[in-house]
């Protein structure tokens, strides 16, 4: 597969209203966890809302998050009109309880209207939740190969919706005083400007491998977990990058507090890693911003971009992996390097 360069980012999260603030907070472990106005079992639920001055709700909240994130990532654009740039907008999966009605019909148009910009007609919505951003990056690779100058990948989501929280609470998946094996719900938007890898003297953050897998033992299936889906995703992504897992320096994931996710990641690692590594750190931004659903892939890539440009990454290569609530699993390999001439 061809590599894709990640050029700039924008973020709106519970710990910052732009990418520099959000990434700095995530780097040092600042959290945005506060009591929300939702109550379960007699206690206020802890969540990570975006700290806007006004109490926006619903579609308006999504727009208030994603529009500035897209504007921020476009700030470094070289003058190319956005009419030539597809926008790939990642939203919550279609079967998510509490998903706002009509998002797929009009939300893309609403975003363009708020931005005062038109994007290329190949712009689309990808409604696949936590792994949607990986699909978007794969789609961007195809569009760039078809001579599009750039693509914008954006994700926006909120789990701070009564129907959504009630569904997760019914499955004992929220972190509460009575349940430590759960996640803290959050909300966020993030956006990336991506383009073709160019032969330049400066290093670029490139996605050099993408992989997918199917996990037969999903989080609420009751089946014994072997991490088959993540293992398949790891191997495919590493194969595209022509490296082994031992050549990777750090992992960046969507893990958000549930034991299932950490067990799955550990199993996948033990089944894939064949070299001895003294250290192999794992980063999970949800520790600071909560579970943010469809926003997590661009959040993770924005964190990787900041870590390399600010020179605190432990090495040039990251393995990023993501798991949907269902069976879908995805992984990607990032490499920060000076591209070699073709």
pLDDT at 107: 97
- For CATH 3.40.47.10, the residue range(s) in the chain are 4-196, 204-337
Of the candidates 252, 262, 315, 318, which has an alpha carbon nearest to the alpha carbon of residue 283? 252
Render 56-94 in DSSP notation, one character per residue. --HHHHHHHHHHHHHHHHTTT--S--GGGS-EEEEE--T
pLDDT confidence band for 151 (50 / 70 / 90): very high
pLDDT confidence band for 314 (50 / 70 / 90): very high
Pairwise CA distance, residues 129 & 124, whole Å: 15
pLDDT at 1: 65
Per-residue pLDDT tens for 2-38?
Answer: 899 999 999 999 999 999 999 999 999 999 999 999 9
Is pLDDT at 342 greater than 60 in this prediction? Answer: no
What's the Cα-to-Cα distance from 20 to each of 9, 154, 204, rounded to whole Å?
A: 9, 17, 18
SS3 226: coil
For range 164-184, the mean pLDDT:
95
Pairwise CA distance, residues 211 & 134, whole Å: 9
Per-residue pLDDT tens for 162-173?
Answer: 999 999 999 999
pLDDT at 230: 98
Query: Under CATH, which number does the domain 4-196 receive?
Result: 3.40.47.10
259-272 vs 228-241: helix axis angle to the nearest 10? 50
pLDDT at 330: 98
The order of strands in the sheet holding 87-91 is 124-127, 87-91, 151-158, 187-196, 4-12, 204-214, 328-337, 317-323, 250-253, 281-283
Residues in the chain: 342
Is pLDDT at 222 greater than 90 in this prediction? Answer: no
Range name among 52-56, 221-225, 259-263, 267-271 with the lowest pLDDT average: 221-225
pLDDT confidence band for 64 (50 / 70 / 90): very high
Is pLDDT at 341 greater than 60 in this prediction? Answer: no
Of the candidates 108, 120, 112, 125, which has an alpha carbon nearest to the alpha carbon of residue 144? 120
210 in Cβ contact with 330 (< 8 Å): yes
Is pLDDT at 147 greater than 80 in this prediction? Answer: yes
For range 284-310, the mean pLDDT:
98
CATH 3.40.50.970 fits 204-337, yes or no: no
Return the H-helix or E-strand segment holding 185.
none
pLDDT at 223: 86
183 secondary structure, DSSP code: B
Question: Cα 106 vs. chain centroid, distance in angstroms?
Answer: 23
Per-residue pLDDT tens for 226-247?
Answer: 999 999 999 999 999 999 999 9
pLDDT confidence band for 218 (50 / 70 / 90): confident
Q: Structure pTM?
A: 0.96
Q: What is the mean pLDDT of the chain?
A: 95
Q: What are phi and psi of 205, to 5 degrees?
A: -85, 115
What's the Cα-to-Cα distance from 23 to each of 11, 328, 333, rounded to whole Å?
A: 9, 27, 20
Return the H-helix or E-strand segment holding 298.
helix 296-309
């Amino acid at each position: 597969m061809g590599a894709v360069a990640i050029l700039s980012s924008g973020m709106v999260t519970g710990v910052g209203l732009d990418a520099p603030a959000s990434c700095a907070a995530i780097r040092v472990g600042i959290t945005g966890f506060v009591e929300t106005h939702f109550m379960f079992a007699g206690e206020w639920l802890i969540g990570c809302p975006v700290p806007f001055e006004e109490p926006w709700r619903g579609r308006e909240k999504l727009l208030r998050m994603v529009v500035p994130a897209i504007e921020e990532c476009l700030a470094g654009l070289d003058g190319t009109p956005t009419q030539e740039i597809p926008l790939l907008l990642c939203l919550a999966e279609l079967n998510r309880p509490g998903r706002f009605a009509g998002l797929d019909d009009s939300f893309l148009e609403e975003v363009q209207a708020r931005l005062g910009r038109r994007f290329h007609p190949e712009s689309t919505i990808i409604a696949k939740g936590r792994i949607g951003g990986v699909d978007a990056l794969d789609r961007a690779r195809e569009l760039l190969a078809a001579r599009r100058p750039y693509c914008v990948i954006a994700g926006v989501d909120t789990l701070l919706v009564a129907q959504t929280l009630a569904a997760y609470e019914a499955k004992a998946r929220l972190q509460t005083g009575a349940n430590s094996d759960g996640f803290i719900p959050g909300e966020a938007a993030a956006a990336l400007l991506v383009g073709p890898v160019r032969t330049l003297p400066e290093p670029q953050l490139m996605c050099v491998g993408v992989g997918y897998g199917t996990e037969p033992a999903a989080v609420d299936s009751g089946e014994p977990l072997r991490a088959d889906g993540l293992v398949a995703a790891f191997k495919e992504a590493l194969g595209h990058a022509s490296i082994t897992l031992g050549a990777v320096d750090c992992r960046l994931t969507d893990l958000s507090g549930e034991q299932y996710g950490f067990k799955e990641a550990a199993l996948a690692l033990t089944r894939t890693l064949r070299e001895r590594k003294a250290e192999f750190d794992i980063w999970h931004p949800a520790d600071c911003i909560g579970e943010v659903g469809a926003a997590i892939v661009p959040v993770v890539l924005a964190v990787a971009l900041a870590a390399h440009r600010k020179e605190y990454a432990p090495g040039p290569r990251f393995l990023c992996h993501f798991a949907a609530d269902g069976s879908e699993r995805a992984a990607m390999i990032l490499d920060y390097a000076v591209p070699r001439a073709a």
